[in-house]
Amino acid sequence: MMTNLLSRALISSTLLLSILQLCLASPSQQHAVSRQPDPSEVVQKFYTSHFYGNKSFTAAGIKRKRSWLSPELYDLLIAEASRKYTPDTVPDIEGDPFTDSQDYPQKFVVGKSDVSAEKATVDLALHWISHGKITERRAYKVELTNKSGSWLISNIVYRPNEDLIGLLKHQR
């Protein structure tokens, strides 16, 4: 009986020690699966970075956003931002392609997301504010694609039949 009690105590203390070691292990030592960000979190982080960073539509500005963008959208944006125009030609995209505006909105709100296995759509509301009041609101849909476990922005739908990819492809 005493041997049985000692065996149980030894097993219990070994188990407790193993759990404690696992809890104290550094993240690189743990084998826990990291949680993949929700597409709405990706849109929130992208627009936060965009709103509080450099919004210029230049090749350098697009390159800073590369990690958020699908390869197709990135390539199209770089091609457009790198296009050379004659001094008397108006560029095809004037302003910010991520807000579809020349005057930047002051606020954005990320709404609900519709997620399937490899694609997601996230509602985005943009607000222009003057004297403390919203003077204009726009509702867009941000489309994302899951590439190798990461959600990447693949398109922005401004209005029915008007989206960023279509605009960029039309310019070619």
What tokens does 168 get?
A: 């960029």
C-beta separation of 164 from 97 below 8 A: yes
Question: Which tokens belong to 121?
Answer: 């759509």
Residue 140 maps to which CATH number? 3.10.450.50
1 is a domain residue: no
Alpha-carbon radius of gyration of the chain: 24
- 3-state secondary structure (DSSP) of residue 141: strand
pLDDT tens string 25-76: 433 344 344 566 799 999 999 999 999 998 889 999 999 999 999 999 999 9
The CA distance from 124 to 145, in Å, is 16
Q: Is residue 76 part of a domain?
A: yes
Q: Is 32 inside any structural domain?
A: no
Residue 10 falls within a domain, yes or no?
Answer: no
Question: Is residue 118 included in any domain, yes or no?
Answer: yes
Cα distance between residue 36 and residue 49, in whole Å:
19
The residue-averaged pLDDT of 97-126 equals 96
In a domain, 147, yes or no: yes
Structural domains of the chain, count:
1
Domain that holds residue 119: 37-171
Q: Answer whether residue 50 is part of any domain.
A: yes
The helix/strand/coil state of 80 is helix
Instruction: Please state, in angstroms and as integers, the Cα–Cα distance from residue 142 to each residue in 13, 66, 88, following that order.
Output: 52, 16, 33
Residue 86 lies in a domain: yes
Task: Give the model confidence (pLDDT) of 4-21 as tens digits.
Answer: 544 454 445 444 434 434
The two tokens of residue 86 are: 């004659």
Phi, psi at residue 145, to the nearest 5°?
Answer: -125, 140
Chain segment 89-105, per-residue pLDDT in tens: 887 788 899 999 999 99
**HSE-CB for 114 with a 13 A CA cutoff:** 6
